[in-house]
Chains A and B, each alone.
Chain A
Amino acid sequence: MTKRVGIEISQAIGEAVKLANIDVVASYPITPQTHIVEHIAELVADGELDAAYIAVESEHSAMSACLGASAVGARAFTASAGQGLELMHEVLYVASSMRLPVVMAVTNRALSSPLSVWGDHSDAMAVRDTGWIQIFTENGQEVVDNVLCAFRIGEDQRVLLPVMIHLDGFHLSHMIEPIYMPEQSEVDKFIPPYQHPLPLNPDKPITMGAFGPPFIYSETKKAQEVNLTAAKEVILQCWKEFASIFKRYYHPVETYHSEGAKVLLLTMGSFSETAMIAIDTMRKEGKNVGLVKLRLWRPFPFYEIRQAVSHAEVLIVLDRALSFGGPAGPVCSEIKAALYNEDKKPKIISFVGGLGGRDITPDGFGEIIDRGIEISRTGSQQEFEMYGVRG
């Protein structure tokens, strides 16, 4: 029987990575991610994890070193956030295009300027189109479970894609929570050894990363798109098998009191837990509201999101990132796009809040929902509203 331990979530990621028996970790310090790689460094220094620890000179090199390690068939892990994720931006595309299943924990952080080490989803949204599988989590247990799932999903021969596990900076990364740490024997059964079908090997020389002129580039990109979309089936299978072993259940879109609710709030990441408190309070007050939580960000769960929200009259989407000059928050834009051609769909109201570590309290979520309902009735001159912002 697994024990439930009180542990900082960043350290728990280190423990999960140890359970996954990674071969290479390449790391560069950036707040709020550092506790993860510090703990991995301790595990390596104490001989608890047999892995090469490359303390690189930048995040760009961290991801590049992971590419190299993955290309020879090693299991590679790194963690990053904010500016670090932006610095490795161009390398992220290469990891997915070259089918190298690197796993990365991203402690989501705001982007400069002004400098902010605190959490929001600007970094995650900026790397939305890099071709990675992106999964959002809302508490420590979900982080640990999905880090383990990430290796299994990414390294599946039908997938071979890198995976990002998103956890909100500080709101999750620095929290101490009670977490069930799986047993090594269970993890060994759950994650088979990584077998890259064609690693770099002098016994069987291959060329990786040739350039693609116009006559072939589009075909390579189509193959990548088909591959990432098809990965959803494997993700669903993985979560199903995870549930059968560990009795914890994950779905691309999860709901809380959403059935039959006329008004729905949609959130991602750690804010979902606070939002649930708000939903409880409002339901006690007799308001017919529910919550939808988007877990799988890429590949985007079109079917599941349509199933979850089409019955509602109002859908309020809270983004933790801005698309400057754009139509709504980035998540809301995609939700709108996913529902536009549906016959039955709710009115969609876009809010942006919680930027740069700004909290939204349960009461705050209540205010957002009430204001959303008001806008759905009266309409608004603005494409979206920013919650709790002065000026």
Chain B
Amino acid sequence: MDKNAISVPRVVPRKIKEKYAVQSPRLVTTDEFLAPGHRACIGCGEALAVRLACKALGANVIIVTATGCIEIISSQLPWTSWRVPWIHTLFENTAAVASGIEAGLKTMIRKGKRPDKDVKIAVMAGDGGTSDIGIQALSGALERGHDFLYLCFDNEAYMNTGIQRSSATPFGASTTTAPAGKKSIGQTTWKKNMPAIAAAHDIPYVATACPSYPFDLMDKVAKGIATKGPAYIHILSVCPTGWRSATDLTIRIGSLAVETGIFPLYEIEDGKYKLSIDFPKLRPVNDYLKLQGRFRHLAEETLNEIQHRVEEEYAKLMAKVALTKGLNE
């Protein structure tokens, strides 16, 4: 038997709040805006997430990308994987570039310098480009209320430069700049809660997503891009290279992140929290952790600590859901 096989039966979600209408493949566009032939690693969850997000964004969009995996796999002079207008400038400034694009388009339309056609703007950045080096530009753009959708593809470390820790790296993970050793468990800090930081800007739409739930992801991207004002979606993107996991388990590991409560799927619409998938019982976190080499070194004691923290965070989220239940109704 495969050592990675899951022995526990899968928990059936009580309620998947997906639009079943879009589950028919015929209703998902066969157009590919991220062309095949890019340079992503085998089993890359991020490339898959970008591809799905692009389907939901459609053709009428300008994409602004930060330096990082997405940029490196999809662009190399003189080629490109992009079938929509795409710009990359630097690492930390994507939200600011998007601000300028939005302001430029709006003003030019108002002054009759461009046809009056609503062009959407989407930002794509990694967890480093979002929660570390790009957080200032992002916070500024969210506060100013520019009309754009920010997509953070979170693979939980600086994967493009070789698996260095970021503020989004989970507790206990071994990375090249926070390696597990005789005196260290690896990452000693808890993952920065980036969706909560985005939500603290009181923007109209915040969500979490994962390509293991493709229709949920596409729904949220469609909703985010249609939102007037800033929207933020945090997308967990499994990285077999950095997580040291089997390349054929990308979808399964993404599902387990959700099923264990480590990465719950939810939306915050105008301040109202909604769980996208509500499980009657969360799976033990070890079901998720044991499939990844980056957690291989963890002792039972640390696993328990993680389990405890995940339950606590999940309870906090449920409390927010309960607290905002009647909001906007």
Contact = CB atoms under 8 A, between A and B. Distances in A.
Are A and B part of the same complex?
yes
Interface of A: 23-24, 26, 50-52, 54-58, 60-62, 64-74, 76, 90-91, 94, 98, 193, 200-202, 204-213, 216, 220
A54 B141 CA distance: 10
B77 A213 contact: yes
Nearest to B71: A211
A149 to B, nearest CB: 22
B140 A213 contact: no
Interface in B116-145: 119, 136-137, 139-141, 143-144
B50 to A, nearest CB: 15
A207 B15 CA distance: 41
Given A65-B103, A68-B100, A200-B101, A205 B77 contact: no
Interface of B: 59-62, 64, 71-72, 75-80, 82-90, 92-93, 95-108, 110-111, 113-114, 119, 136-137, 139-141, 143-144
29 contacts: A23-B107, A23-B108, A23-B111, A55-B144, A57-B140, A61-B96, A64-B93, A64-B96, A67-B100, A68-B97, A68-B100, A69-B104, A70-B100, A71-B87, A71-B101, A73-B104, A73-B113, A200-B85, A202-B62, A202-B84, A204-B85, A206-B86, A207-B75, A207-B85, A207-B86, A208-B88, A211-B76, A212-B77, A213-B76
Most buried by A among B71, B98, B106, B113: B113
B85 A201 contact: yes
Contact of B137 (A52, A61, A98, A210): A61
B27 to A, nearest CB: 22
A317 to B, nearest CB: 35
A301 B249 CA distance: 62
A202 B101 contact: no
A301 B75 CA distance: 37
A91 B90 CA distance: 8
A23 B89 contact: no
A86 to B, nearest CB: 15
A212 B76 CA distance: 6
Given A50-B110, A72-B62, 16 more contacts: A56-B96, A64-B89, A64-B97, A65-B96, A65-B97, A68-B87, A69-B101, A70-B104, A72-B105, A90-B90, A91-B93, A201-B62, A206-B85, A207-B82, A209-B89, A213-B77
Nearest to A26: B100
CB-CB nearest 10 A-B residue pairs = A68-B100, A57-B140, A74-B104, A65-B100, A69-B104, A61-B96, A210-B75, A52-B103, A64-B96, A64-B93
Contacts of B144: 54-56
Contacts of A204: 85
A205 B100 contact: no
Most buried by A among B84, B89, B140: B89
Given A23-B111, A94-B89, A69 B75 contact: no
Given A210-B80, A213-B77, A193 B103 contact: no
Contact of A61 (B86, B93, B103): B93
A202 B88 contact: no
Contacts of B98: 68
A67 B97 contact: yes
Given A61-B93, A68-B64, A210-B76, A200 B103 contact: no
Given A23-B111, A193-B113, A208 B100 contact: no
Contact of A202 (B78, B85, B106): B85
Contacts of B72: 211
A205 B114 CA distance: 16
Contacts of B75: 207, 209-211
Contacts of B90: 64, 90-91, 94
B267 to A, nearest CB: 27
Most buried by A among B71, B90, B100, B140: B100
Contacts of A94: 89-90
A24 B85 contact: no
Contacts of A26: 96, 99-100, 103
A216 B106 CA distance: 36
Most buried by B among A55, A64, A204: A64
A328 to B, nearest CB: 33
Contacts of B105: 72, 74
Given A61-B137, A68-B96, A98-B89, A207 B104 contact: no
A265 B143 CA distance: 51
Contact of B106 (A52, A70, A220): A52
Most buried by B among A24, A62, A72: A72
Nearest to A100: B89
A58 B110 CA distance: 27
A158 to B, nearest CB: 22
B77 A91 contact: no
B88 A210 contact: yes
Contact of A24 (B77, B92, B104): B104
Contact of A209 (B88, B96, B140): B88
Given A207-B86, A209-B75, A50 B107 contact: yes
Given A23-B113, A64-B90, A209-B89, A56 B101 contact: no
A202 B119 contact: yes
B22 to A, nearest CB: 23
Contacts of A98: 89
Contacts of B76: 210-213
Contacts of A60: 92-93, 96, 137
A202 B225 CA distance: 15
A171 B10 CA distance: 73
A209 B119 CA distance: 20
Contact of A23 (B82, B104, B119): B104
A252 to B, nearest CB: 31
B107 A65 contact: no
A24 to B, nearest CB: 5
A205 B89 contact: no
Contact of B85 (A66, A69, A205, A210): A205
Contacts of A205: 82-86
